């Protein structure tokens, strides 16, 4: 690839990323660079930041204690899909156990990773550390660092942002980085990655949007009923 073409592609990528912060539209995209898959997604929700933070608290609490609950709302509809040849089923995860160390704050998910028709990796332990911080008055960050290194996964981390929107509502965004081990690095093409990871990331954000807007609606309805009762 010529230097001019490489520069042009980098410029297009920069413009695409920059535009995410200038528009309100929902977006999702992925790219591959230097052995690493990267996915960025964002949705705008009609809910206040404090309502979104209540959702984040539940998300982290259930992730640490009982991740099966997340399949009822955050991961709803994102498991195995209908159709034997559905490309979204080329890699499946079956959760066996969730552990959380209150001393180190490290969570461990014990799972089977299934590649249908090829192989199954039994009882894979994925350890992660979740940290939270307020970046400023309008932006809150949740960082998930995954510790694992073998033929399946070398490194992965993700950052989730809750950002108050000046025009109203809140942005929920996620930035995921995955570096696979040699086995999945050969197996996971960019097409497979989009079918397996990007599609589920997009669905995850849409599920969170649905949940926080439902919470906001419930709160507003309760306030409305309380006002009617007080009058």
84, part of any domain:
yes
195, part of any domain:
yes
Q: Which residues contact 66 (CB under 8 A, 6 or more apart)?
A: 98
Q: Give the tens place of pLDDT for each residue, 108-153.
A: 888 888 888 888 989 888 889 999 999 988 999 999 999 876 778 8
Q: Give the tens place of pLDDT for each residue, 184-208.
A: 888 888 999 999 899 999 999 999 9
Q: Is pLDDT of 100 > 60?
A: yes
In the numeric block, which tokens belong to residue 23? 């528009």
Range of the domain at 51: 26-230
14, part of any domain:
no
1, part of any domain:
no
In the numeric block, which tokens belong to residue 202? 């997009």
- Backbone conformation region of residue 229, classed left if phi is above 0, alpha if psi is from -120 to 50, else beta: alpha
Which CATH number fits the domain that encloses residue 125?
3.30.530.20
Q: CA–CA separation, 161 vs 51, rounded Å?
A: 14
R_g (Cα) of the chain, nearest Å: 20
pLDDT at 24: 54
Q: Give the tens place of pLDDT for each residue, 58-80.
A: 999 988 888 888 889 999 998 88
Give yes or no for a contact between 146 and 181, defined as CB atoms under 8 angstroms apart.
Answer: no
User: pLDDT tier at 229 (50, 70, 90 boundaries)?
Assistant: low
Q: Which residues contact 105 (CB under 8 A, 6 or more apart)?
A: 129, 130
Q: CA–CA separation, 226 vs 70, rounded Å?
A: 31
Distance of CA 165 to the CA centre of its chain: 20
Q: CA–CA separation, 51 vs 155, rounded Å?
A: 32
Please tell me whether the overall predicted TM-score, pTM, comes out greater than 0.85 for this model.
no
8, part of any domain:
no
What mean pLDDT comes out for the span 216-221? 93
Give percent of the chain above pLDDT 90: 43
Nearest to 142 by CA among 163, 160, 157: 160
pLDDT at 63: 86
Mean pLDDT of the chain: 84
pLDDT at 130: 92
Residue ranges of alpha helices (H) inside the chain are 3-20, 49-65, 182-187, 190-193, 199-230
For residue 220, which phi and psi values (nearest 5 degrees)? -65, -40
User: pLDDT tier at 12 (50, 70, 90 boundaries)?
Assistant: very low
Q: What is the DSSP letter of 1?
A: -
Q: How many domains does the chain have?
A: 1
């Amino acid at each position: 690839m010529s230097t001019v073409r490489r520069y042009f592609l980098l410029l297009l990528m920069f413009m695409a990323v920059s535009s995410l912060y200038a528009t309100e539209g929902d977006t999702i995209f992925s790219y591959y660079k230097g052995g690493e898959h990267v996915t960025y997604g964002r949705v705008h929700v009609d809910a206040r930041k404090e309502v979104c933070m209540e959702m984040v608290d539940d998300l982290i609490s259930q992730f640490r204690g009982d991740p099966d609950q997340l399949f009822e709302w955050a991961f709803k509809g994102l498991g195995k899909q209908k159709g034997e040849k559905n490309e979204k089923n080329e890699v499946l995860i079956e959760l066996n156990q969730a552990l959380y160390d209150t001393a180190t704050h490290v969570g461990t998910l014990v799972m089977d990773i299934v590649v249908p028709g090829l192989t199954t990796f039994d009882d894979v332990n994925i350890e992660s550390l979740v940290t939270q911080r307020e970046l400023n008055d309008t932006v809150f960050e949740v960082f998930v660092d995954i510790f694992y290194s073998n033929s399946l996964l070398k490194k992965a981390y993700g950052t989730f942002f809750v950002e108050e929107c000046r025009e109203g509502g809140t942005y929920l965004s996620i930035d995921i980085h995955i570096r696979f081990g040699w086995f999945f690095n050969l197996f996971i093409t960019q097409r497979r990655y989009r079918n397996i990871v990007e599609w589920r990331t997009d669905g995850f954000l849409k599920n969170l949007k649905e949940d926080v807007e439902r919470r906001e609606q419930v709160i507003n309805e309760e306030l409305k009923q309380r006002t009617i009762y007080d009058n």
